[in-house]
């Protein structure tokens, strides 16, 4: 496209009444990200140097989300105070667009449009008007493309204004278009609202271009899924499934095996090595990385997790903010909270919770333990029922456990406290002072009593 600047105008002013939600329509998520987030990423990938968002209903919420998530990308705002149609909406942003730019119009509720499609559309709209069209078996609700005897585009008719013959046309308008700003601006200013809805249709610029003798270019979209908009929660769910299918297909091409790709959820980004296996019901959030040979068990949730080669996550585990080494074994039913780091060969078993814990090579906590704010060395054994008591009601404190230590069943380590290298803590101990290296430390009640003749309480009534 030479060096002509590409300005994208994203329409996001609709109320979305059919969503029946207090959340603006464009903020409803697909793949864990609001629809408008997908669109802004896509227009940026297509080459837009400037992005103008037309807002209306819930504009404050939309601006707040975009401002928080897209601070590194400049967005200009234009308000459509009255909902007077798509042509009127685009016109609100045009004062910010220079005449020597190309304008690309996209929609905040069409989240699955591809950057390749938008880039091709922008290139076609460098010198004249270009629109994206799609062939539909059932084009109900879409404007129809009118072509002359030579097959050139002559106009677009909205369904409400179409004749029966025109409604039989299968080539539909997607609403996406590109044109030089110097041409688009006067076309928009000349729009009329003498139609059944009393709105200013963006599609009427097609007829204006034809009247000026310009050839309207068309870019065919191969799949209707790419250009379908979201107007209700049913359509939102349909777009979610399309999105997830796309992600699973892309991952399988990278060598991932799924037990069932239709039961996988990606709500962020995932980098994978070779021979990764993902079981059913797995949810990936945030930024995750799975190295060669990693397997993730059924119904596990991973958020902002990095797993080294050949690490296994067993079923029903919830991991967040974990950086784990190679050959680790985590779960089933394990929970790891943010700020945790595992060296190689760490084993965290069922119903073990780790929070901000650093665990050394080959350390094990097989079951029923809480390890919080702890620095644990290598080859440590943490038995069932062990708790690091890290919170005093006001502040968090650290527990330090040296290499080769053994923490017996049902022990409590009251932080701040240190268990030195090779120390052995007897079962049932409450440790409040340093447990010295290579020694047995035991702290239990002195007397064990048995009361003869004791009677078990009975239920009253």
As annotated, the active-site residues are 367
Cis ω on the peptide bond leading into residue 295 (within 30° of 0)? no
List of residues 6+ apart from 134 with CB closer than 8 A: 171, 172, 174, 220, 221, 223, 224, 227
**Per-residue H/E/C for the chain:** CCCCCEEEEEEECCCCHHHCCCCCHHHCEECCEEHHHHHHHHHHHCCCCEEEEEECCCHHHHHHHHHHHCCCCCEEEEECCCCCCHHHHHHHHHHHCCCCCEEEEEECCCCCCCHHHHHHHHHHCCCCCEEEEEECCCCCCCCEEEECCCCCEEEEECHHHCCHHHHCCCEEEEEEEEEEHHHHHHHHHCCCCCCCCCCCCCCHHHHHHHHCCCCCEEEECCCHHHHCCCCCHHHHHHHHHHHHHHHHHHHHHCCCEECCHHHEEEEEEEEECCCCEECCCEEEEEEEEECCCCEECCCCEEECCEECCCCEECCCCEEECEEECCCCEECCCCEEECCEEECCCCEEEEEEEEEEEEECCCCEEEEEEEEEEEEECCCCEECCCCEEECECCCCECCEEECCCCEECCCCEEECCEEECCCCEECCCCEECCCECCCCEECCCCCCCCCCCCCCCCCCCC
The CA dihedral of 12, 80, 200, 75, to the nearest 10 degrees, is: -50
What's the burial of 421, exposed, middle or buried (CB within 10 Å: 0-12/13-18/19+)?
middle
Other CB atoms within 10 Å distance of the CB of residue 178: 30
Place of tokens 């609202």: 193
Q: Give the β-pairing of 412-414 and 318-320.
A: unpaired
Q: How far apart are CA 156 and CA 129, in angstroms?
A: 13
């Amino acid at each position: 496209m030479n060096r002509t600047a590409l300005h994208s105008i994203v329409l996001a002013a609709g109320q979305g009444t059919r969503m029946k939600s207090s959340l603006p329509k464009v903020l409803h998520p697909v793949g864990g990200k609001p629809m408008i987030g997908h669109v802004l990423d896509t227009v940026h990938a297509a080459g837009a140097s400037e992005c103008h968002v037309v807002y209306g209903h819930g504009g404050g919420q939309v601006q707040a989300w975009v401002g928080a998530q897209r601070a590194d990308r400049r967005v200009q705002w234009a308000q459509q105070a009255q909902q007077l149609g798509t042509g009127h909406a685009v016109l609100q942003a045009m004062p910010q667009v220079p005449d020597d730019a190309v304008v690309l119009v996209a929609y905040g509720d069409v989240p699955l449009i591809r950057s390749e499609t938008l880039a091709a559309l922008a290139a076609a709209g460098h010198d004249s008007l270009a629109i994206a069209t799609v062939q539909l078996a059932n084009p109900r609700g879409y404007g129809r493309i009118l072509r002359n005897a030579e097959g050139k585009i002559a106009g677009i008719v909205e369904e409400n204004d179409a004749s029966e013959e025109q409604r039989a046309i299968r080539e539909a308008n997607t609403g996406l278009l590109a044109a030089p700003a110097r041409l688009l601006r006067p076309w928009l200013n000349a729009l009329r609202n003498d139609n059944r809805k009393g709105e200013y249709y963006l599609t009427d610029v097609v007829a204006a271009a034809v009247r000026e003798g310009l050839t309207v270019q068309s870019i065919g979209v191969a799949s209707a899924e790419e250009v379908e908009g979201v107007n209700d929660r049913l359509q939102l769910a349909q777009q979610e499934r399309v999105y997830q299918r796309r992600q699973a297909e892309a991952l399988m091409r990278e060598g991932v095996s799924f037990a069932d790709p239709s039961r996988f959820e990606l709500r962020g980004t995932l980098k994978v090595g070779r021979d990764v296996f993902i079981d059913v019901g797995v949810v990936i959030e945030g930024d995750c990385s799975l190295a060669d040979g990693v397997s993730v068990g059924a119904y596990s949730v991973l958020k902002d997790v990095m797993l080294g080669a050949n690490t296994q996550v067993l079923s029903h585990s919830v991991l967040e903010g974990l950086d784990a080494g190679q050959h680790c074994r985590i779960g089933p039913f394990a929970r790891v909270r943010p700020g945790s780091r595992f060296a190689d060969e760490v084993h965290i078993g069922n119903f073990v919770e780790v929070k901000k814990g650093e665990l050394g090579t080959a350390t094990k906590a097989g079951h029923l333990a809480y390890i919080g704010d702890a620095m644990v060395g290598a080859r440590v054994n943490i038995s069932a029922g062990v708790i690091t008591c890290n919170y005093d009601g006001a502040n968090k404190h650290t527990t330090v456990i040296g290499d080769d230590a053994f923490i017996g069943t049902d022990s409590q380590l009251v932080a701040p406290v240190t268990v030195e290298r090779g120390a052995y803590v007897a079962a049932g101990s409450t440790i409040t002072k340093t447990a010295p290296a290579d020694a047995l430390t035991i702290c239990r009640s002195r007397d064990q009593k048995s009361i003869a003749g004791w009677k078990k309480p009975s239920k009253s009534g």
